[in-house]
Amino acid sequence: KLHSTNPIERLNKEVKRRADVVGIFPNEDSIKRLVGAILLEQNDEWQLQHRYMTLETMAGRTDEPATLTHIAA
């Protein structure tokens, strides 16, 4: 259950803003692609905000910085 509808309202506002920029959609699939891209972008932003370990903090825990490249990939 959601405690607040603010995140949903913010997402709806972002979809509306981007749809207004496009203006006219040629078909339904183009709308789905736009909304999908917005959802992916919002998900990426959320993950970055809620990350508790970064490469910098992990680098402080190891002597071999080369081992971090395969972790980040």
pLDDT of residue 13: 92
Q: How do residues 23-57 score in pLDDT, each as one tens digit?
A: 899 999 999 999 999 999 988 888 877 777 777 77
pTM (2 decimals)? Answer: 0.58
Report d(CA 8, CA 71) in Å as an integer. 33
Which H or E run contains 57?
helix 55-59
The DSSP symbol for 52 reads -
Domain ranges of the chain: 6-72
Of 5, 2, 33, 1, the residue nearest 18 (C-alpha): 33
Report d(CA 22, CA 34) in Å as an integer. 10
Question: Has residue 70 got a pLDDT over 70?
Answer: no
